[in-house]
Amino acid sequence: MDLASAYRSRRVAIVGAGNVGSTLAQRIAEKNLADVVLLDVVEGRPQGLALDLLEASGLVGHHRQIIGTNDYADTADSDIVVITAGLPRKPGMSRDDLLQVNGKIVLEVARQAIAYSPQARFVVVTNPLDVMVYLVWKATGLPSQQVMGMAGVLDSARFQTFISLELKVPPQDVSAMVLGGHGDLMVPLPQYSTVCGIPIPELLDQATVERLCDRTRHGGAEIVGLLQRGGAYSAPSAAIYKMVEAILLNQSRILPASAYLEGQYGLQDLYLGVPCRVGWPGVEEILELRLTDAEHDLLQRSGDFVKVRTEQVLQQLM
Ligand code: TXD
């Protein structure tokens, strides 16, 4: 690497300047993590959002470049491409209703973005998440470790919140783990979810644990139902930020991410939420936890569900 590129600012391209994308741009700039390029198909929207964010920079005290654009050439040489482009769920819609329409969008986005940033790491956010990550991996032709999906960090943060509310302890004292596909079949893991190291089944009765797991599984729908227009974006953008930071700062953090499985957990050739070590290479390692038979079965069901849909959309779109 030459000196100029070693010292150039880190750059994150965010494709999809909607609620999640624009909130993520704000978090990245305000925490001084990287320069941001915000891209959308809608003309004026990313430019307007970028200018608005830039005009706040003196007030909040950062010096990051924020560009809004409709042109992929402006995303050139990004270190990370985050894909949030697509349509969100409407009330009553499942994440899978979005399969076809968002599949076409993420394929197009991935093909354009990789042409300008061939070395980038890709973090996919668009729903239905695990299937979309697979499409992006295929479309970019990158090694699978450089392409991952964000969902588990958000689902775990929701579980963490519900545990903290139930036990009246600060959320920072709670560490929660949720695996599986980003959908109703996700697999919260109570015995790997702790308060200062104490597994929650030691602190809560089984019915309460089950209630919190259930609320976590439907955490996205709960917000969609309340908002009526659009979905969650504050916690999602904070969760993406955590992954982007882990990659850019090469933190080797253990985070649940949608990663490509080649036999781990007995699953093959699909993207699914599992605990990963995340750093500059992307997914450095997949951790295989010991699961109960019931959890193992749930993870298999979640994997089967994702795999069928992945194969279906691959046939239709590729
Ligand atoms: O945990 C997770 N993975 C998720 C996923 C958490 C929250 C949101 N989740 C999904 O992310 C959600 O179901 C959607 O599929 C995406 C984006 O959610 P957001 O709430 O930000 O949706 P918006 O506000 O509708 O923004 C989508 C933007 C919007 O500005 C469109 O104009 C743009 O995407 N869009 C495109 N940009 C570029 N290129 C193309 N082709 C395109 N099509 C739409």
Alpha helices, DSSP H only, in the chain? 3-7, 19-30, 45-55, 57-60, 99-116, 129-140, 152-167, 206-217, 219-227, 234-248, 293-317
- Identify the band that residue 55 occupies on the pLDDT scale cut at 50, 70 and 90: very high
pLDDT, tens digit (0-9, with 9 covering 90-100), for 8-22: 799 999 999 999 999
Asked whether the ipTM of the predicted complex exceeds the cut of 0.95, the reply is yes
Atom of ligand 1 nearest to the CA of 154: 1
253: which 2 tokens?
């953090």
Cα-based angle 290, 295, 299 (whole degrees, multiple of 5): 100
Distance CA 131, CA 90 (A): 19
pLDDT, tens digit (0-9, with 9 covering 90-100), for 193-206: 999 999 999 999 99
Cβ proximity of 315 and 307 under 8 Å: no
Annotation says 218 is catalytic: no
Domain 3-149 belongs to what topology? Rossmann fold (3.40.50)
| Segments making up each domain of the chain, as ranges | 3-149, 152-317
Site to probe by mutation for ligand 1, drawn from 97, 101, 124, 127 as the one with most ligand atoms within 8 Å of Cβ, is 127
**Residue ranges around ligand 1 (CB below 6 Å):** 15-21, 40-42, 84-86, 88-89, 102, 105, 108-109, 125-127, 129, 150-151, 154, 182, 230-233, 236
Q: What is the pLDDT of residue 4?
A: 63
pLDDT, tens digit (0-9, with 9 covering 90-100), for 94-136: 766 789 999 999 999 999 999 999 999 999 999 999 999 999 9
Specify the residue with its C-alpha closest to ligand 1, atom 26.
Answer: 18
CA 315 to chain centre: 25
The CATH number of the structural domain formed by 152-317 is: 3.90.110.10
